[in-house]
Structure 1
Amino acid sequence: MAVRRAALLTTSTVTGLVLLLSLKPHHTALPLLAGSGGGAVSSPTPGSSSGQPSHSSRPSGSKSAGTGGGATGTYTGAVEQTPYGPVQVAITLSHGKLTDVKALQTPSAASRSQAIAGYAVPTLTREALGAQSAQIQAVSGASYTSEGYMQSLQSALDKAGA
């Protein structure tokens, strides 16, 4: 009986590993900020407004004249209302490259909303920095927060002219 159980366990483990290793990662986001002139972005989302950077190390509305091209500075996205509370992000660009994303507001009215934002926001930030755009995948179990994050991020990118 013990030998049969060990054989079944070994077979199951090997089968699971083979299935896991045969999975291909699903990456559909294309970098939109790559290049020397700032990339194309989709049109502003509803509720977003155009404007100048709220906090920038350069004069308001200026673009970098460095060799990399593209915007440099910090830009604040629109406040996006979700059923669980507002979401707002600020981005930092260096010569058109997204170098940082900070969540300024996340849903926090209920402890459950705080917990969801606590695990979703770092994941969304990593995805945005990797994709160099707002075209990222939502975090499972945090669809409203993810959608608000992506819309605010796109709004900030639009303000940067990236």
Structure 2
Amino acid sequence: MRRITLWLVSTLSALVLLLSYRTSTAGTGADEAAAQPAPGTTTSSAPPSTSTGAGAEPSASAASEPPSSSSSSSSSGTYTGQSADTRWGPVQVRITVTDGRITDVEAVEYPQENHHDVEINSWALPRLQQEVLAAQSAQVDAVSGATVTSDGYLTSLQSAIDQAHL
């Protein structure tokens, strides 16, 4: 009888603990939504972690494209997002847009001060690029183990997407 009672109490305790556990993805969705500017907002309301720089302007090929296109959904060109300052260093992203779709994403600036930075970014940046191309937006999950770089990457990416009016 004692064994059955002990087993029942243990099982119920484990079940209560399991059901009350909050997964890591449940908390990051709200954090990412708060970190990303709302669609249609200007980049001047971007979080204070971003800095303005000369790289924030679209390239010469992109500057001539939007006036000749009939709608923002058919825009084409190359857009460089604002550099996002992170505690490990600045992160800046450039996107290539063809007919209103993101066709390439490139991290033009990212932390590479030491071997650890290089190692993390060698697998994190291609994963972020792949997810952005699949999602066609900055609404992707951060890469586990490279959260700070991922946040900077997504902030700069959103800035480039805003410039492209996607």
Q: In the alignment, which residue of structure 2 is the partner of 1:111?
A: 115
CA distance in 2: counterparts of 1:42 and 1:143, whole angstroms: 26
The Cα of 1:104 is off from its aligned counterpart by: 0.1
Distance 1:88 1:153 in 2: 8
Map of 2:69 onto structure 1: 64
Supply the distance in 2 between the matched residues of 1:127 and 1:99 (Cα, whole angstroms).
12
- Structure 1 regions of 5+ residues with no counterpart? 1-25, 30-39
TM, length-normalised to structure 1? 0.67
Instruction: Determine if contact 1:48/1:152 at 8 Å carries over to the other structure.
Output: no
Q: Aligned to 1:94, which of 93, 98, 106? A: 98
Could you list the per-position Cα deviations for residues 96-155 of structure 1 after superposition, in whole angstroms to 9, with x for gaps in the alignment?
A: 111110110110111101111111000000000000000100000000010000000000
What is the identity, as a one-letter code, of the residue corresponding to 1:138?
A
* Matching residue of 1:126: 130
Letter in 1 for 2:94: A
Q: 1:127 to 1:52 in 2, by over 3 A?
A: same
Aligned equivalents of 1:124, 1:151: Cα separation in 2: 12
Higher RCO structure, 1 or 2 (CA under 8 Å, sep 6+): 1
Structure (1 or 2) with the greater helix fraction = 2
Q: CA RMSD in A?
A: 2.7
Give CA-to-partner distance per residue, 1:67-108, whole Å, 9 cap, x none. x94321000001111111111010011121111101101101
Give the aligned partner of residue 41 of structure 1: 39
Q: What residue is the counterpart of 2:35 in the other structure? A: none
Distance 1:155-1:69 versus aligned 2 partners, 3 A rule: closer
Residues paired across the two proteins, number: 124
Q: Determine the C-alpha separation between the residues in 1 that align with 2:129 and 2:68.
A: 24
CA distance in 2, matches of 1:78, 1:58: 16
User: Normalising by structure 2, what TM-score?
Assistant: 0.65
Change (3 A) 1:64 1:95: farther
